[in-house]
Structures are given as structure tokens and as C-alpha cells.
Amino acid sequence: MCGIVAVTGYRKALSLLLDGLEKLEYRGYDSAGIAIVNSENKELVCNKSEGKLINLINKVGQKEILGTVGIGHTRWATHGKPEVKNAHPHLDSSGKVAVVQNGIIENFLELRNKLEEEGIIFKSDTDTEVIPHLINKELNNLKKLNLEDSGSTLLIAVRNVLSDLEGAYALAVLWSDAPDSLVIARRQAPLIIGLGEGEFICASDTPAIVDFTQTILPMEDEEIALLTPLGIELYDSNNERQYRNPISLKCSEQVVDKKNFRHYMHKEIYEQPELTQKWIKNYLIKNSESGLIKVNYSFDTNFLENIERIQILACGTSRHASMVGSYLLEQFAGIPTDVFYASEFRYSPPPILPNTLTIGVTQSGETADTLAALSMEISRREDLKDELCKPNLIAITNRPDSSIGRQISNVIDISAGIEIGVAATKTFFGQLLSFYGLAITFAQIKRSKTDDEINQLISNLENLPPLLKELVDQHNEISEKLAHDFSDIKDVIFLGRGINYPIALEGALKLKEISYIHAAGYPAGEMKHGPIALLEKKVPVISIATPGKVFEKVISNAQEAKARDSYLIGIAPKCDGTEIFDYLMPLPLSDEWLSPLLAVIPLQLLSYHIAAHRGLDVDQPRNLAKSVTVE
Ligand code: F6R
């Protein structure tokens, strides 16, 4: 949440900052701002606008702001409303220190009260504003020491202030008395340095860097750095200078291109068949001698043999994918599996059990709740010093270069390519595929299914791409038409059971996120225990009914809704039983194991077309951000 960009070098900072912020706008779009050290008079020039970046671009885009050192920010509001006064950068009272921050300073109130007692007047409601004031105070103290180098002075001042801050942050600081210097620091929030020649860019995420350089240095937790056009000084929390080799960006995966689609989300839904094809090629590998197909991981999987139970930590859409995963791991591979809201797990974890695999699932790899829950789990298990209870870990992510990739070495890369639409679609699909892979691996290890059953699932997955392609085309047309019927709808109920219950939850979440229509997903059998009271003519019920274990039950539950006058939409194949639906969004007849991968497509497209039909900002829905880096 919130995007930070900072540059120092020889090129004009303004356009570099605006370009970088544009690539980070998915992280928040409540306000945007920049501060640049004017290279002529060495004063800070700060500009901010409420709302999207375009407002800032309209304000400063035509201005001639001279200066090669600057910081920029695109905000997702936590403390303080999305108003100009709360937009970053925040300045100290002298107007010489500017700070952009991503994260939350948990003890800001205490710090603010103290500063106010000392006579400092605050201009915003944010937690961030304490930082420039504290830095200015430190700088005034350090001035008495007459340090020669102003960049190093700023570094010391920031470091001293950081020791007083509680919470998580990534920040960048400018001081007009050190006009070539930037100080950046991170604690539990991402920050990456891009290395150019005689110039550096620092950003919350790689898309802001990729057009600038392919060489990056991701900062580690608790590190602080001084950047000038001459180089980087990087220090750890013990003030030890750090020397690390930079790494290369895989730029093809960072390219942001909408092609001919009106919205990124639409394009990303269309990319799912190709993603599946790529996943099959990368992950389902036939052994040339035995002829057996195994799932191909980039890490040694021997440790999986001893696993007796699995716990999965995730949030939002990633949690829904994990619920399908849990169903597959229990019902197909026979391993007891629990899924937890990462935000709940951290504060109420279950008792530690031996031989447990913990899987962290996050498309961004930066979700603070998930990272914090994983850290807690790793440290409580390490503290036990019991070999059977040691942490066994896997991360499923679209960003192996992210914080989770640094936290956990066993990474399943979903390789979905960068997802710009804030509402997750293709990364959800990639997470599902990863869970099919894990279920196959565990079924092979545990012999929970016969070879024939396992091979059947593999072959069904291999046959999926053309089916998906047809489904996307077909449902794009159907959903576009159906979207008109949702013009006045205020509530929608989604029903599913068994393997498709999480898909009902995901359908409801997608609709809420981008169309702002209230929607709720239920296991179809639960309706009669309460939610059925909501049903009436104006509350459509969308029911996923795929032949298998619970098909007849789902149809009966749909009957109950129909008896209450609800308009019934079926996500179901055309077969006996599905004539009950007022409107059928047809699925091909398929094996039940595969059904979530099919059923989710019409739901994604329907949400998309309803929101697009309402003229809403599909890719950047209100109040949301793609990377949720605060707890
Ligand atoms: C929904 C959505 C969110 C995320 C959630 C977790 O469309 O995008 O619900 O799924 O914030 O994000 P990640 O997967 O990055 O951990």
C-alpha cells in the first residue's frame, strides 16, 4: 500500500518521479505528491494533489521544476482522510526536510504529543508527519557537531529517528542542505534500489524501476542507505556497512501493456488460458525413463514425505484459492489441511503440531498480514528447538522477488506476469493451478489415489487450455449482455458447495470490489439457516452447480431460493436438473475436480462487465490497493 519513488542522479527528477508513480498507482490512489530539490536555489519544491495521479500530473506536468533529486508518493489512506493536507511528502516546520512513507508508525500519537508540547505545529492527520519533524530536530542537534558531509549528517539523523519509531515502514527522505542526497530505509515494507549509471532510483516495487534499469538491489529489513549520484552506502541495523551483489530484473514479466483491452482486468481474465498452457509446460514434466508425470518444483521436495498436516495462511482472494487448495489437499491427497485468515492466525494460532507444512499464499508477496503471520509461525517453531516441529515452509506467489521470496526459500512461482487490475483474477487462477500441482505431488507421495486417478487429473489439466479459451470467449459475450440486467441490483447471493464453495466466495468478492454491489457467498446448504431471509425478487442468486458429489443438493438448495421468488442464475452445464435456472451461464461437462477452474471464469467476466457497464473504475476500485502492506 502506498507507492514510493525516489531518484538521485543527473536527469530531471520530475518526469522520472511521475513515470515511476504511474507504475505504482495500483498500490494506492487516494492522493499523490512529489518533492524535488531545486538545483538553482537548493530549496525544496513540493506539490501534492488529492485523488489520482492524473490530478498531480495536470498540476505539475507542464511546470519546469529544475532538480535531479526528488521523492514521490501515491497514497492509500490509513491515518487521515484522502485530502491534500494528508498527501505525502510531509515536510518539517523549516520546509527543508521532506519524507514519503509507506507503512504505519504505531507510536505516532505519543511522538506527536511530545513534539506538540515542544511547540511544533502539525499540518496533517497522518502518522508520517512526525518523521520530518523528528529528523529536523536531530539535524539541529547534529549541526552542533559540525559534521563535514551533509549527506552523512542526514543519514545519521534518520538512523537516530528510526530507533524511536515503532511499526512497519519504507521511507525516503530529502534534505535541502544535502541537495544530492537521499536517505531511504525499510522495516517490514518493501523497498528496492535500481542502479543506473551515475543515478539511482528507489521504489516500492519493480515496475517503477524496469524502464530505468534492469539491475536492482532489494533492501533487507532494517537496512538504511544513503544514495548520491556517486554511489550507495548501505547499512544494517547494527550500523555495519553492507556489500551485496545486485541482481537482474526479469523485465519481460514487468512490462505493463493493456493491449487492445479497455481495462487491465479484462485483459488479465483473457490471459488465463495461456497462463494454464505455460503452467503445464513448466510444471507437469514427464520423466523420460519411467514415463511418469511429476510436478516440477525449483526446490528439493524430499521434506514433503514426512508431512502429516498442512496449514495455509492467506488473505482475500488468495485465501479463496487456498480454500480450493485445502479441499484438493484433503479430498484428493488425503492430508488434513486448514486455511487461516493470516490476520487472525498471527494473534490466535493453533497449538503447534509436529510434521506440519505451512504454506503462505500471496500474489504480491508483500501482504503485511501474511508476512507477519509467517514470521510469527517460523519463530515460535524455531524457539521450540524440536526437530519434528521445525518450520516446513512453502510460498505460493506471483512475485518470487518479493518479501515472501526472501522470507521463504521454497517458492512456487505462479508466473502469471504482472497483474495491474487491483482485483485479482489471473493470479487467483495461477494460485489454483499451484494447488492442483501440490495435490498431485502429495497424492503421489501418500498414495491417496491410484495412479489412474492421478493420471486422469493430470490429463484433464493438460486438456484445459482450449476449453478455457472457448469459455472466456463465450462468457465474455454472455456476461456483457447479462450485465444490463444488473443495473438496479443492490444485493447478490452466490452459492456453491464442496470444491466450489470458495468459488462462490470469490465471485461475491469480485462483484463487491469492482461494482460496489453488496454480495455474499454461502455454502448452499447454509442458506436455510439464516441467509434465506434475504431472498426476494430483487436479490438474484447465482448458484454454481457442477455434476459431482453435491450436485443434487445444490439443485435442491436452488429450488429453495426459487420458491422465494429469487431470480436464479446457474453456473452449470446444460444437463438434467439445471433447467431449474432462470438463466444458465453454461459450463462444459467436466470432472468435478476440475470444476473450480471453469466456474470462476463466468463469475470474473460477469463482475467485470457489470462494473464496466456502470462506468466504474474497474482497474482501480475505490478504497482498494493491490499490495496491502499494512496490518
Ligand atoms: C481481491 C484482492 C485482495 C487480495 C488480498 C491479498 O481481488 O486482490 O483480496 O487477494 O489483499 O493479497 P495478496 O494475494 O497479494 O496477499
| 2 catalytic per annotation | yes
Q: According to the model, what pLDDT value does residue 254 have?
A: 58
d(CA 174, CA 97): 6
Non-local (6+) Cβ contacts of 41 within 8 A are: none
363 lines ligand 1 (CB under 6 A): yes
Q: According to the model, what pLDDT value does residue 491 have?
A: 95
Give the DSSP letter of residue 172. E
For every residue of 123-160, DSSP letters joined together read: --S-STTHHHHHHHHHHHHHHTTT-S-HHHHHHHHHHH
Which amino acid, residue 360?
A: G
Closest CA to 339 of 323, 321, 350, 351: 323
Q: Give the angle 243-366-310 at the CA atoms, nearest 5°.
A: 110
Q: According to the model, what pLDDT value does residue 589 have?
A: 94
Domains, in order of start, for the chain = 3-248 (3.60.20.10), 258-462 (3.40.50.10490), 472-631 (3.40.50.10490)
424 lines ligand 1 (CB under 6 A): yes
Q: What is the SS3 assignment for 617?
A: coil
Question: What is the share, in percent, of the chain residues with pLDDT greater than 70?
Answer: 99
Q: What is the SS3 assignment for 290?
A: coil
Q: According to the model, what pLDDT value does residue 255 have?
A: 60
CA of 607 to the centre of ligand 1 (A): 16
Q: According to the model, what pLDDT value does residue 80 have?
A: 83
Non-local (6+) Cβ contacts of 244 within 8 A are: 217, 234
Non-local (6+) Cβ contacts of 105 within 8 A are: 111, 127, 128, 130, 131, 165, 166, 167, 169
- In which residue are the cell numbers 517460523 written? 378
Q: According to the model, what pLDDT value does residue 89 have?
A: 98
Segments in the chain below pLDDT 70: 250-256
CB neighbours of residue 146 within 10 Å: 7
Q: Within 13 Å of residue 186, how many CA atoms lie on the same side as its CB?
A: 19
CA of 265 to the centre of ligand 1 (A): 14
318 lines ligand 1 (CB under 6 A): yes
Spot the catalytic one: 2, 46, 202, 315: 2
What is the number of the ligand 1 atom nearest to the C-alpha of 627?
15
Closest CA to 9 of 173, 201, 193: 201
Give the DSSP letter of residue 619. S
371 lines ligand 1 (CB under 6 A): no
d(CA 205, CA 422): 15
Q: What is the SS3 assignment for 234?
A: strand
620 lines ligand 1 (CB under 6 A): no
pLDDT, tens only, 119-152 = 999 999 999 999 999 999 999 999 877 777 899 9
Which phi and psi (to 5°) does residue 614 adopt? -80, 0
